[in-house]
Amino acid sequence: MTFRNLKTGSTLYIFHKDNAPKLEVGVLTADPEIKQKTQQNPQQAMFPNYIPQQAEQVVNLTVRIGERIVPVQGLTPSAVIQDCGNNIFVSCSRDAINTEVVSHKQTSDLALDEELLAVHRIISNNCKGIMAQLNPEIAERERIEQENKELRDEIKTINGKIDSLIERFSKGLEN
C-alpha cells in the first residue's frame, strides 16, 4: 500500500535514524490529502503561451502519535517509504521501515568491527607518519608532546613517592 492509498486508522512508522535511533508508530486521523506540489515557474510569467508540465502531486498526512497530532507533509504518493530529511524516515510499510532499521544497525555493526577498526588505526598511524615526514614541524610538535607526557608521568611518580615518605615519616613521629 502506498501513501496515497492509506485510510483513516492506517498505521504510519516514523524512524528517527540518528545517533539515538527511535521508532514512533502513529495512526492516521484522516484520509491522505493529495495536493499539487506548489512551484512557481518563472517561464509562466515571462511567456504567456508557455504550456506548463503536469504538476507533481504530494500527499499530506495527519498522524496521532500517543497524544500528539503530527502533520507529515510532502510525501510522494506512490512511495511506501520516504526520507523526509533530518534523518527522519516515514513509511506506511512495516517491512520497508524494518529494512531501514536493519540497514542502520548493519552500518553501526560494521563501524564496530574490530578488524575494520584495526585497519583504520593502521591507516591513521601511517598517514600520521607521512604527515610528519612531509611537515617536520608536526614531528617536532609530537616529539615535544611525548616528552611532556613522559615528564608529567615522572612527576606523578615522584609525587606519589613523596606522599608515601611523608606518611611514613608522620607515623614515625607519632610513635
For 134-149, write each residue's pLDDT tens digit: 888 888 888 899 999 9
pLDDT band at 8 (very low <50, low <70, confident <90, very high): very high
Q: Range with the lowest mean pLDDT among 40-44, 53-57, 156-160?
A: 40-44
Query: Which residue(s) pair with 59 in the sheet?
Result: 34, 75
Mean pLDDT of the 7-25 span? 95
Q: How far apart are CA 45 and CA 41, in angstroms?
A: 8
Share of the chain above pLDDT 70, in %: 90
The yes-or-no verdict on residue 43 having pLDDT over 60 is no
Query: Which pLDDT score, from 0 to 100, does residue 48 have?
Result: 61
Query: Which pLDDT score, from 0 to 100, does residue 53 have?
Result: 62
- Predicted TM-score (pTM) of the model is 0.64
Grid cell, residue 7, equals 485510510
For 121, phi then psi, to 5°, come to -65, -40
Mean pLDDT of the 53-79 span? 91
